[in-house]
Chain A
Amino acid sequence: MMHMNWKNILSSLTIAANCLLVFFLLFYDRLVVPPLLQVIGRAHPLFLHFPIVLFALWLIWVWVIPKQRFHVSGLAEHIGEWLLLSVAFTTALTALMGVLLSKEPGYNPESLSWHKWSGAIMSLILLLWYIFYQRLSRPGIVLASLLSLAVLLVAGHQGAAITHGDNFLLAPVYKGRVKEKVPLDEAVVYRDMVQPMLEGKCMSCHNNTKAKGGLVMSSPELLLKGGKSGPVLDTSDANMSLLLQRVHLPEEDKKHMPPLGKPQLNDQELTILYNWIRRGANFTVKVTELDPTDTLRTIAGNIFRSSAEQENYDFAAAGDDKIRQLNTDYRAVYPLATGSPAIAVDFFGAAFFKSDQLKELLPIKTQLVSLNLAKMPVTDDELSTIGEFANLRELDLSFTKVTGRGLPALGKLHHLKRISLTNTAVHRDDVQQLLTLKELHEIYLWNSGVSYAEAGDIKKKYPLLDIQAGARTDTLFEKINPPVNQTAGVVISDTPIALRLKHFVPGTAIRYTLDGTDPDSIHSIVYDNRAVIDSQVLMKARAFRKGWRPSDVVQYQFYRATFHPDTVILITPTDSLYRGKGGTTLKDLVKGSQNFGDGKWIAYRSRMECMLKFPKPVLARSVTVSSLVNVGSMIYPPKSIRIMGGNDPGNMRLLYQLIPPVDTLPQSNYLIPYECKFSAASLRYIRVIIEPIGKLPPSLLPAPPPPPKIDPKAPPKKKEKPQPANDKGWFFVDELFVN
């Protein structure tokens, strides 16, 4: 009775399979199929033939073969039962596989669900049928077999539709239209935006066969013709044509279209319809012909994908795990977008590149569409691997070690659209073989073995090809930038300071002068790092470089401070806003910057008077008042500077009086030393008296006041309460140098 047991096992398994099936269907939407089972799932289309054939056999066995011949009692029965059981079993398995397969993307959900359910029902029917086999009377069997036959047909048909396209079976009999997505730049407003909606929501009634209300929408002509109640597309009509009126009527209204209960137009469809008609119901206008800001254009932007993204990849996704494994710190592997099967790979960190890292990508060679190897030490050897990536669209080999030798390996990349060979050793002839690739329309050859001229005639031969030979810079004749002063400090007190000039462009010559003249390329001193400054001078420097025009001249004022007072007493108080560090500000040898708010300056608007006291008499020849002019901020040269000196504060004589030139140019903004030279005198005390410019003539008064942000440190000019003091100009000083 062996077969008896086997039957048990088989039937148990069938039950199990069916339980599993039901279970899967219950939690269908949360089912996740691991790769391994995917394989099994994909066997579905193959496996499904077993149940069909077996079922056929069974039918024949039961209905065709005459049983009388079998003398062993029940044997016929057994064979029948066996057949039926195996049908039930294989069906269940097929159904299971189907479920697994159905989880893979790219199936039309509607026909899928039909197929799924019919298949499942088939399996269950057969199970029940088998269980109650013995119990079933002959008519029962007839019924059962007919039923299963019917279901089988349905399931089979749906299945065919899924694999071979909609309506595969009957397609020859009546022709159905298959639509694929249109790229934005081909889309026609009527054909691709309006018509589909009419087909979907109106033409079930308004078609050639039904023609409700005499209206047929199947063709523009008929649509224009309108129906019983007149033309539906009369754009001259005040309320924008009957069609719009009808769709906009309240739903309860009898005349509302589509009628209550039928699928209604959604907002977007309504907007499309409205705008299309408002624009005169043009049947031919293309989306791209519309104004970029046009509502229809905007909507279209969301409906159609521009040809750039159009690319519908026909291969399956690689699976997240695979992608995750391939990602390393130096190799980014990622899908182009959520849900896209296409994969892009970027390599980073030349130091870490190994050619195996390319081979590791072979498992995803189907999905790989964009590969970026810029700057990687890729050689011709690796190109053979790259040649394997048959679906590659974009390939970046710029700054790699590839030469023409390896390029033939890329001949198989028939989808290649864009390749960069920037800064590689490829030549005209090497490139030639790539140009035959049909899809290729961008090629980058800057700094490669291909010259501008050669690039030119390639362009002539292949006008459609976008060939990038790089920006021509060899013809430009620019001005080099000036040198930078990095000298530590500008005040020479006891020891000379080393002159530090720098130019950031290697191999650029710096020349400078100390006599106030502009440096030239012949006579002026060539800078080297031994140069020093030991006196109060104005240094002018300039950069020269082959192939460039000389730079602008830059200048720096250096100051000398021979004698150091031990105190500086401010006799008249500074302005409250700029106290600095009081008297010490003037002797601390710290130069202020043009940002006169930096605390290194003191300022006056009325007479400044201060006393320098030396530990012992000094033999002085000059006093330099280091100051600043910033007309925008009402800071001017002073009216006068007087230097008095002597060995007794009580009795001092005037040594020098300076009347600086007036400067009122609005843009003036510079540091300036006022040097007061006088015949050498032994002095213990020096008194400096400075008269600021004082009241400014209205012409100099900014009116209306310049905005505070221009002159941050000038006092607020509150219009509401005018302060008389405010029209006085400023005088700023940061150091007094005695030599």
Chain B
Amino acid sequence: MSARTLTILAAIAIGICIISSCFHHEKSAQHSNALPDVVSYNFDIRPILSDKCYKCHGPDASHREAGLRLDIADSAYAPLKNPKGAYAIVPGKPGQSELIKRVTSSDLTYMMPPPDAHLGMLTEREKKLFTKWVEQGAKYERHWAFTPPVAAPAPEVQDKTWPTNEIDHFVLHRLESEGLTPNAPADKERLFKRVCMDITGLPPTLDMMDRYLADNDVHAYEKMVDNLLSTDQYGEKMAVHWLDVARYADSYGYQDDNIRTQWPWRDWVIHAFNKNMPYDQFVAWQIAGDMAPNATKEQILATGFFRNHKYTEEGGVVPEEYRVEYLVDKTKTYGKGMLGVTIECAQCHDHKYDPFSQKDYYSLLAFFNNTQEVGYEGDVGVSKPAKMPKLAIDSNDRKHLLAFMYNKDTGTLSVSVMGERDTVRKTFLLKRGRYDMPGGEVQPHALPAVMKYDTVKYPRNRLGLAKWTVSRNNPLTARVFVNQIWQELFGRGIVKTAGDFGMQGELPTHPELLDWLAVDFMDHGWDIKRLVKQIVLSSTYRQSAVTTPEKLARDPDNAFLSRGPRNRLSAEFIRDMVLSSSGLLVRTIGGPSVKPYQPEGLWESATSGRGVLATYRQDHHDSLYRRGMYTFIKLTVPPPSMIMFDASNRDQCEVKRLKTNTPLQALIMLNDPTVLEAARVMAERLSIGHGTPQEKITEAFRRIVCRKPTEKELKTLTDYYNDQMGQFTSRKLDAAKTLSEGEYPHEKNVDANSAAALMKLITVIYNLEEAITKT
């Protein structure tokens, strides 16, 4: 009896033991807890150093405590000032390393980081890592992102059948090492919507869907991808991201916020993507197109990139203060958008985390300092559509040189572009970043920490900078862009912090893959369409987006890519989806931005009352149905429906949009006239067509969600339709009133009741989570 009791007890105990231990294993796996055999400086140590130590012991000389610098081996190994005879790091001897002693100490006066730094203590694991790293000799390495990418051969994987191309080898390799298995491919319809949205930003039309579904050729998918890449909408889709990078807007920003004409540059971007201009050329032109030997107007137009930022027209500003502010913006945009580094942090002091000195910063800024641009051209009273230096574009140019441009008569246009002065303007380091506190003079010179600036190869002007930027050996340019594209397609970059490849940035989840893609990209002439195709053809991209609690627990934001991407559409494309599914979309490319429906009084309540944008004059007819990217952006009052869906407010260079989920978004989908009008128009068209209600509902569903509804869905929807039908016929609801949405002309001889019922139904479909999601 007692024996039994004992065994039972023991059994229970062991049971619990097992349960609890595995339940911990799960956690630990999540935190990939086991210490690596060899601690890597770049991947294990530097992130901690950078996050917890560099603030006071980093590159920034001015804020360095105790003269200790931990980002460089020599100074980290050197004897400390105090305590005398001690060393921060003694390779191989954690016991003697002050650093280890302090991070592991719990004495508030002794420990590091000090409590009052509010940096938080190191986790146990971090402490262990440090100790192990020192044991193993505390080896420093160059920051991964500042060493040129080298393409490693695609790794071997167990499951030979899954991979389609190299990408999959890298991804699967990681998955297998994480003990995860990839998802099955997504079903045809959903995959098709996904790829259409990703390449053109538009949902597939009914007949595209039918054709694709009917096509059973093994290459059907690839063929479709090729078609999509060849449409003009591809350029528009790609441009949107670049407009964020370039903080493109239709007004000058700052208080009076008058109108400007930069849209010809925007049209050029679309054009460049559509004719698949190689990325190196794309970048080079935007940096220094104007300086190219006998530059064409197109090349000059490209440099509008650096003129998109805000310009003040506030009376009484100190011009120099703003001229400097504009240079700062240019430098920041270049650094963040093209090099993926937060160079702007070095404006007032040496960079706290990355090896960029304040001098480096102003040497970089010096490249832009030589334009004819001035800080202030007078106030809003004398505001012009562009600020010097300008490029004039007349109708003749639009016929020949710039044929890609939208050519309804818009008179002669002038666009702000870059243009050098004949005499070189001196550049000085500005103490504390203050325009009125010049320090020593600096020469134009790109970031030495990233790549040597060989003044023999590269002249000391923007032309040189352009060459340097797109040089085959520049470790950043290709990586950064490839990562941005990846982010656009998967919703998360291989480097999550797309704008910061520096010390404080997140580490790549698949370093080898990133490098492989970058090198492959450069090897194939910086061919963007090829890159996109490569990715969307991969099995990784084609996976279904279904997730399980296990996968969710193991990998909440799908960093390891064990499932397909599932992301909400960006603001512009939500609008595009609504317009195109309802057949309202006007597919004109480019041209002046348009002013669709917008709640009353927004501009009026915020304006200073000056300038032509004091009041919002809504457009009519076709202009109401243009793609989201053409909606007029007044910087001080950006279009609300866009902002609420996390569109960039274009105030500054932005490489990654937030993705939020708010009640205001629900309200937009429910009450925005654009949505209601689309629903109405689709409803009217369907209602005059033939077919049973079910068929009509199915068609509406397919147009919006891009797949056939399930039995259950169809039933739910039909019930709703019938219910509404009842409401309208019994006059409980007012059909005519319901249908009175939007300016688009009504269809003739519509049965109001069925149309209204359909309209309500379609509104429901528009409000489905799946409707505005790439699934």
Contacts and interface: CB of A to CB of B under 8 A. Distances in A.
B615 A712 contact: no
B379 A708 contact: yes
A715 interface: yes
| Majority-rule SS of B interface residues | loop
Nearest to B378: A716
B614 A709 contact: no
A713 B615 CA distance: 16
B379 A712 contact: yes
Given A597-B611, A707-B315, A712 B381 contact: yes
Size class of the B contact interface (CB-based, 8 Å): 20 to 34
Interface string B370-401: 00000000111110000000000000000000
A671 B9 CA distance: 97
B525 interface: no
Contacts of B609: 595
Interface string A1-41: 00001101100100010000000000000000000000000
Contacts of A707: 315-316
Contact of B615 (A577, A598, A708, A715): A598
B382 A709 contact: no
Interface string B590-610: 000000000000000000011
| Majority-rule SS of A interface residues | loop
A135 B13 CA distance: 30
Contact of B315 (A595, A709, A718): A709
Contacts of A8: 2, 6
Contacts of A16: 13
A463 B315 CA distance: 57
B381 A713 contact: yes
A709 B316 contact: yes
Contact of A708 (B1, B13, B315, B614): B315
The interface centre, meaning the residue of A5, A8, A599, A709 with most chain B CB atoms within 10 A of its CB, is A709
A714 interface: yes
Contacts of A716: 378-379, 381-382
B216 interface: no
Contacts of A713: 381, 610
Contacts of B527: none
Given A8-B2, A9-B6, A712 B380 contact: yes
Given A595-B610, A597-B610, A708 B316 contact: yes
The interface centre, meaning the residue of A9, A597, A713 with most chain B CB atoms within 10 A of its CB, is A597
Contacts of A595: 609-610, 614
Contacts of B2: 5-6, 8-9
A536 to B, nearest CB: 26
B5 interface: yes
Nearest to A5: B2
B610 A599 contact: no
A169 B2 CA distance: 45
B612 interface: yes
B270 to A, nearest CB: 30
B325 interface: no
Interface string A162-199: 00000000000000000000000000000000000000
B256 interface: yes
Contacts of B611: 597, 712
B741 interface: no
Interface in A221-256: none
Contacts of A597: 380-381, 610-612, 614
A711 interface: yes
A715 B381 contact: yes
Interface in A597-612: 597-599
A714 B316 contact: no
A715 B382 contact: yes
A613 B216 CA distance: 71
Given A8-B2, A716-B379, A709 B615 contact: no
B98 interface: no
Contacts of B614: 595, 597-598
B314 interface: yes
Interface of B: 1-2, 5-6, 9, 13, 109, 256, 314-316, 378-382, 609-612, 614-615
13 contacts: A8-B2, A8-B6, A9-B2, A9-B5, A597-B610, A597-B611, A598-B614, A708-B381, A712-B380, A713-B381, A714-B381, A716-B381, A716-B382
Interface of A: 5-6, 8-9, 12, 16, 266, 577, 595, 597-599, 707-709, 711-716, 718
The 8 closest A-B pairs by CB, nearest first: A708-B315, A5-B2, A708-B379, A709-B315, A712-B610, A716-B378, A712-B381, A716-B382
Given A9-B5, A712-B379, 11 more contacts: A12-B9, A266-B109, A595-B610, A597-B610, A598-B612, A598-B615, A599-B612, A708-B378, A713-B610, A715-B382, A718-B378
